Structure formats: C-alpha cells, structure tokens
A and B are shown apart, each in its own frame.
Chain A
Amino acid sequence: MRTSTTGRVGQYAALLGYLVFLAFPFLWLVSTAFKSPRELGSLHPTWIPRHPTLDNFRQAFDEQPLLRAAGNSLLAALAAAVIAVLIATPLAYVMARRRTRLAKAATGWVVVSQAFPLVLVIIPLFLVLKELRLINSLAGLVMVYVVWALPFALWMLVGYVRAVPTELEEAAAVDGAGRLRTLVSVTAPLLAPGIVATALFAFITAWNEFFFALVLLKTPEKQTLPVVLTHFIGAEGVADLGPLAAAAFLATLPSLIIFAIIQRRITGGMLAGAVKS
C-alpha cells in the first residue's frame, strides 16, 4: 500500500513536471506580450509583468495587418482540414479493410513521402501552381496544404479504422443494413474521434505553416499569419520582442480555442462496451 501511494505521488509529480515543461513557453510568451520594453531588458525577469501594458498589442496591430492575416490563415487552415478529411476518410477505410498489396504499397509510400524536405518539392510545386494560375491564391495554398497533410492524415485514419471492430459492421449487415448504411450509421460515428483528431492535425499543420505561404503568396493582402509574424524579425534574427510576443500570443489563440472545444470529442472511450467479448 505504502509503495503504491509513493508510486502514485511520483506519477503525479512527473505529470506535473511534464505539464510545467509544456506550459512554460506559452506562459512566458503571455508574460512577454504584456511587458514594457524596459522590463523586457531587465536582468531580473519576472513572471508577472510589474507594469503590464497593452502597448505591444497596439504596436503589433499598428505595424502589421494581423486581423487580415489571421482571416487568411483561418480560411486556409479550415479548408485544408475539411478537404483533407473528406479525401482521407474513404481512402483510409479502403486501406484498412482491404489488405491488398496495393494498400500495403500505398502505406509504404505514405511513410516515405514524409521524409521529403520542403526545399526539394517547392520549386516543382511552384511551377505546377504557376501553370494552374494558382500562385498568390489561397486556393493554391489550400491545395498544397491538403496534399501535404494527406499522407499523415491517411496514416492516422487507417489506425482509427482498424480499431473499429469488423464484427460491428458484420452485425449491422446481419440486421439488414446495406453497405452505405453500415458505413454512415455504424462506422462513421465510431470513427468520429479519429476524424476530429485528424482534422485538428491538418488544421494545426496548415495554421502554423510558414514556408509554402511565404513562397506562394505574393501580395500583402493574401499573406497568412506565420508570414506576417516574421515581419517583426530583422536581419540576423534580431526581433522586436514585445510586439512579436503579442502577435504570437494572438496567433496561438485559435488553436487553443478549437482544442478546448473539441478535446472531449478526441478523447477515446466511444468504443468502450461496443462489443461483448
């Protein structure tokens, strides 16, 4: 009993340590966003700003079109997430349920494709999009994000599909449900957490993406938030720290809000008790 209590305390301590480790950069970012320039240059940094100010936010908004950029990012990321999930879900189902050589080869290709560095693909991609007249277009960027997110989305969803017991689909078939009805009424609801998690992955990948957006979008009206954030950084990495922190803090909010809203949907447990063993 004593060992068990000690072990549990150790587990909680480790968990707490991990949470602090994860939260530290974000909390420091929030603290920095509210500090005055003089406090930023202090030798004795404080967690809570001594003289909290909104000047960094004002300056960030004055200097850069943050709202417009956030709108562009949101549009691109949402579209990429929805399209990636719409394409990946049926493909993942086929790959999970039909274990043919083709499906295995496709899985292998998915893994290999993750190893390509961006700089290797960017020039051919740029030329293709130029031919399609999709340079400097959010539609072109969404297309790239979907292609970029698809392999991993597919990989994730294949795992989720495999976790859905085939016995459930067979039971539905015995009860007279057709193929489509089984997929829509039985499989899809059980896949929901996986679909949400995959959509979230695609959304965050697109929301944070910098290099494609930097290269493919030409005019200020189209630029996304990560590109605009770099406008607070000068040559050799010198940064206007206060406004940069304020803008970066705002840039993390949509992801946090979306996580907060749907985190319960991602949590497992929906399959619990679905099948009697």
Chain B
Amino acid sequence: MRARWIVVLALLLAGCTGTPDSDGDPVTLRFQSLAWQEESVEANKELVKEWNATHPHVKVEYVQGSWDSVHDQLLTSFEGGEAPDIIHDASDDLADFAYGGYLADLSDLLPGRLKSDIPQRSWDTATFGDGVYGVPFLQEPRVLIANARWLKESGVRVPTPEHPWSWAEFRRITDQLSGAGKYGVAWPLKEPVSATLNLSLSAGGQLFHRGDDGKVTIRFEQADQTVPRTIHDQANTDHSASPTTLGGGGSDTLPGFFGGKYAMVPLGFSYRQQIAQQAPKGFRWQVLPAPAGADGLTQGVSPQTLSVAEDSPHKKEAAAFIDFLLQPENMVRLALGDWMLPTGTAALEDPALHTAKDGWATGTALAAHLRSAPAQSVRGYPEWKDKVATPAFQEYYSGAIGLGELRKRLEEDGNLVLARYQR
C-alpha cells in the first residue's frame, strides 16, 4: 500500500516539475531557425538560452538553418523522419508540407493568448484546409525608400500612411523627378511575380479566383492591371524608371540610390538594415508607404512562421516553446533583430516600433493593411510562377510584349499549369 503511494507521489512530482521523457530524461527539442542577421541570430539564441534556464525538463537545441534550399532540406528531413521539432520557414513554403501531412495541426496546441494576439488575416497565411500549420510571427510590407533631400527639394507632396499616393499620382511624381540621367524610381524586379501580385491587392487585384468547386482559375482583370501597367509605363513610356534595375535584386539598386541616380526604390521593409549600414554619411533617407489603389494600402505578404513537425513526439512542448518565443516582448526582440514587423497586436504596440527613426513608425502603420499573399494556398503556384509568370512579366516590363500578350500567357498558359494540380 505504502509502495503504491510512493509511486503516485513520484508521478505527481514528475508532473509538477515538467514533462520529462518516459524514461525520465529531459525532453530535447530541436529548433531550426532561419534567422541570419547578426542581431536576429543573437536574439534567437538568447531566447533559447532563457527558455533552457527556466525549463530544465524541456531543453531546446538551437540549429542554424539556411534560407537557401530550405524546402528541399525540410522535405528530405520529413521523408527520412529526421525533421527538427520546431521549424522556421515562410508561409508561402508551407502549403506542400501541410497538405503532405508533414506538419502538425496547431489548432488545439496553441494557447488562447497567442491565438487571439495574432489577427485572423495573419492566421489565414498559415491555414490550409481546416488546419493551422504555422504561427505567423514576422512580416514585412513593401515600402518606398526615398532620398529625403531630393524629395524635399522637388517640392512634391510627401505621402503618409494616412494620405498615401495613388498609383496614378506615383507615376506622375516619378515622371516629375526624372531627367538628365536620373530616375524617379528604380524597380528591382528580379522576382517580378510576388512583387506585382502582392502590390496589386491595393488596387483590388486578385488574379487567382476560387470557384464553388474549390478549383482555382487565373483571370487577369482590370484591377490586376493597375500595378503592372504603372511599372511598364514608367519604364517604357515615361522613362521615369531605370531600365537597368528591372532584372536585378534589391541590393543591386542601392549603389545607384546612394549615388543619387534614383529618387526612390521599392523594397521590402527589412532592407532598411542594409540602407542604415551602407548609406554614405549625410545621406538622408525616409520610408514611404507603397502607393494605394481602390483597396487602399492593402498588400499581400508571406510572413515568417514557426511550425511543429507532425513526427515530433513532443508537440505540446514544442507549442509551449513557440508560445514562449512569441510572448509580446520576445516578438518585439525578434522583430527588431530582423528589421521586420511582428504580427502580434500587443507587440505592435511597443514604443520601439513607433519611432520615426529608420522609418519604423511608417512600417508599423501599414501592419493593419497586410493580407495573405494571393497565391499563398494555390497548388501549382511555384510552377506557374517559374515557367509562365516570371518570363511573361519580365518581357512585359522590358517592353518586349504588350498587355494583351501578357494576359494571354498568364491566363491561358497559367490555367493549363494549374489544371494539372487540380484534377
């Protein structure tokens, strides 16, 4: 009888002190992080250290992952049953893993605090079917980084999140700023599809339309044309957009921007880190909201996410770690480290994210307008993007084809690709 009480007492004590493995060893979770900037890696490692100091029975091991080839690396790890317990990725990479059964449905694992702290529009980016397969925690809008002195001297109206430029006004202003080998804007469009589609939401563009049967078709309608037409006309009609940057990445535009060749560069919000680091002394820059259309400042984003592997034997512990990592004050630390915006409403209220310095306040004001990227859950999107849309948009922006041909390729060729995934 006494022995039975001792066993019960021991079990109760074990329950109170944590969740060790069945053999009594502490649980070890592997957390593969894709943080890469110095401050961001530091913030992640510090948070892991803090967790480990306060949770002796659930040890988290920090594993540095890499954005390069992360999809293939994870796929192999899932197939081989060797995936990390906690997975950092981007929401637009999750669809295949979620539908493939590799990720745990977090709907019942996450605490109410976290669920209610992150708005539904962000949860939508990681919701596939009926399940939630990732916690969206960092996101970045596309903004205009402007040469502040140039803008001031030109006398143009400087937009704010409350009074942004319309797309037509933006075109007019870039035209006004151009001349003598200088351009109003330099579009870095090495990856033209996501930039175009995400910005097109502001004008009400959807491109992907889901029918009653659940199948998705592509329709390139009037609202979808606003953004591509603006870029095309800036580059080919007004010559207010530099033609040389159209095929380059964001970093490629920075020397020209610092050198006074371009007045503005549309970039992801996190590029501010590079700009702050590389801008010549005395160079004054400011963050402006992207132009607005019929739907205001709305734009699509694919937030960074934290997921739990379906094969993980410690899903509850992994979810608890995610909850810890995404406590408002910790989310702020991660956001500051990555120069991005947190998704959590409590974190977004932190004063550190509302300073004028480095354009934080402008970016934070855009958070409420960020939606799930249009192609987020469309199966076949990666193939459509690589084989159809990327070359079509590149040719259109360079002036090689017109709007009719662009529409034909996006719709006709695109729907053939999507149909193969929806049989």
A and B physically associate: yes
Interface residues of A (CB under 8 A from B): 37-38, 40-45, 59, 62-63, 119, 122-123, 126-127, 130, 135, 210-211, 214-215, 218-220, 223, 227, 230-241
Contact in complex: B259, A122 (CB < 8 Å): no
Q: Given A38-B280, A43-B258, A237-B249, do A218 and B73 touch, yes or no (CB 8 Å)?
A: no
Contact in complex: A38, B80 (CB < 8 Å): no
- Closest CB-CB distance, A67 to chain B, in whole Å? 16
**Best-surrounded residue of A227, A238, A240 (most CB of chain B within 10 A):** A238
Identify 27 residue pairs between A and B in the complex whose beta-carbon atoms are under 8 Å apart, listed by A's number.
A37-B278, A38-B281, A40-B278, A41-B279, A41-B280, A42-B259, A43-B255, A43-B256, A44-B259, A62-B38, A119-B72, A122-B76, A123-B75, A123-B76, A126-B80, A130-B81, A214-B68, A215-B73, A231-B66, A233-B66, A233-B67, A236-B67, A236-B191, A236-B250, A238-B250, A238-B274, A240-B38
* Bound Cα distance A163, B347 (Å): 71
Contact in complex: B72, A215 (CB < 8 Å): yes
- Closest CB-CB distance, B245 to chain A, in whole Å? 13
**Best-surrounded residue of B64, B251, B268 (most CB of chain A within 10 A):** B64
Residues of A within 8 A of B260 (CB): 43
* Bound Cα distance A143, B274 (Å): 41
* Bound Cα distance A237, B249 (Å): 8
5 closest A-B pairs (Cβ-Cβ)? Answer: A43-B259, A41-B278, A230-B66, A126-B80, A230-B68
* Bound Cα distance A122, B270 (Å): 34
Interface residues of B (CB under 8 A from A): 30, 34, 36-38, 41, 61-64, 66-69, 72-73, 75-77, 79-82, 84, 90, 190-191, 249-251, 254-256, 258-261, 268, 270-271, 274, 277-281, 304
Residues of B within 8 A of A63 (CB): 38, 41
Interface of B is mostly: mixed
Residues of A within 8 A of B190 (CB): 237
Residues of B within 8 A of A220 (CB): 62-64
Residues of B within 8 A of A37 (CB): 277-278
* Bound Cα distance A240, B280 (Å): 17
Contact in complex: A215, B36 (CB < 8 Å): no
- Closest CB-CB distance, B230 to chain A, in whole Å? 22
* Bound Cα distance A157, B75 (Å): 36
Contact in complex: A234, B82 (CB < 8 Å): no
Residues of B within 8 A of A59 (CB): 38
Specify which of B41, B76, B250, B258 is in contact with A41 (CB 8 Å cutoff).
B258
Residues of B within 8 A of A230 (CB): 66-68
* Bound Cα distance A24, B191 (Å): 27
Residues of B within 8 A of A123 (CB): 75-76, 79-80
Residues of B within 8 A of A210 (CB): 68-69
Contact in complex: A43, B82 (CB < 8 Å): no
Residues of A within 8 A of B250 (CB): 236, 238
Extra 13 A-B pairs, beta carbons < 8 Å, given A45-B255, A63-B41 = A43-B261, A62-B38, A127-B80, A210-B69, A227-B66, A230-B66, A230-B67, A230-B68, A231-B66, A235-B304, A236-B191, A236-B250, A240-B37
**Best-surrounded residue of B68, B190, B249, B259 (most CB of chain A within 10 A):** B68
Residues of A within 8 A of B75 (CB): 123
* Bound Cα distance A122, B77 (Å): 10
Residues of B within 8 A of A122 (CB): 72, 76
- Closest CB-CB distance, A13 to chain B, in whole Å? 30
* Bound Cα distance A122, B250 (Å): 33
Residues of A within 8 A of B251 (CB): 238-239, 241
Contact in complex: B37, A214 (CB < 8 Å): no
- Closest CB-CB distance, B385 to chain A, in whole Å? 13
* Bound Cα distance A218, B258 (Å): 41
Contact in complex: A234, B67 (CB < 8 Å): yes
A128 to chain B: closest residue by CB: B80
**Best-surrounded residue of B34, B80, B191 (most CB of chain A within 10 A):** B80
- Closest CB-CB distance, B284 to chain A, in whole Å? 15
- Closest CB-CB distance, B328 to chain A, in whole Å? 24
Contact in complex: A38, B66 (CB < 8 Å): no
**Best-surrounded residue of A42, A234, A240 (most CB of chain B within 10 A):** A234
B304 to chain A: closest residue by CB: A235
* Bound Cα distance A59, B41 (Å): 13
A237 to chain B: closest residue by CB: B249
* Bound Cα distance A220, B41 (Å): 13
* Bound Cα distance A59, B72 (Å): 29
Residues of A within 8 A of B38 (CB): 59, 62-63, 240
Contact in complex: B77, A215 (CB < 8 Å): yes
Residues of A within 8 A of B63 (CB): 218-220
* Bound Cα distance A237, B271 (Å): 12
Contact in complex: B279, A38 (CB < 8 Å): yes
* Bound Cα distance A234, B67 (Å): 6
- Closest CB-CB distance, B81 to chain A, in whole Å? 7
Contact in complex: A126, B279 (CB < 8 Å): no
- Closest CB-CB distance, A31 to chain B, in whole Å? 15
* Bound Cα distance A188, B216 (Å): 65
A135 to chain B: closest residue by CB: B82
* Bound Cα distance A130, B3 (Å): 42
Contact in complex: B271, A238 (CB < 8 Å): yes
Q: Given A41-B255, A43-B255, A231-B36, do A126 and B68 touch, yes or no (CB 8 Å)?
A: no
- Closest CB-CB distance, A255 to chain B, in whole Å? 21
A131 to chain B: closest residue by CB: B80
Specify which of B69, B84, B254 is in contact with A211 (CB 8 Å cutoff).
B69
* Bound Cα distance A223, B75 (Å): 19
* Bound Cα distance A215, B77 (Å): 7
Residues of B within 8 A of A236 (CB): 67, 191, 249-250, 268
* Bound Cα distance A40, B81 (Å): 43
A127 to chain B: closest residue by CB: B80
- Closest CB-CB distance, B158 to chain A, in whole Å? 24
* Bound Cα distance A123, B81 (Å): 11
- Closest CB-CB distance, B283 to chain A, in whole Å? 9
* Bound Cα distance A220, B277 (Å): 28
Specify which of B66, B82, B255 is in contact with A218 (CB 8 Å cutoff).
B82
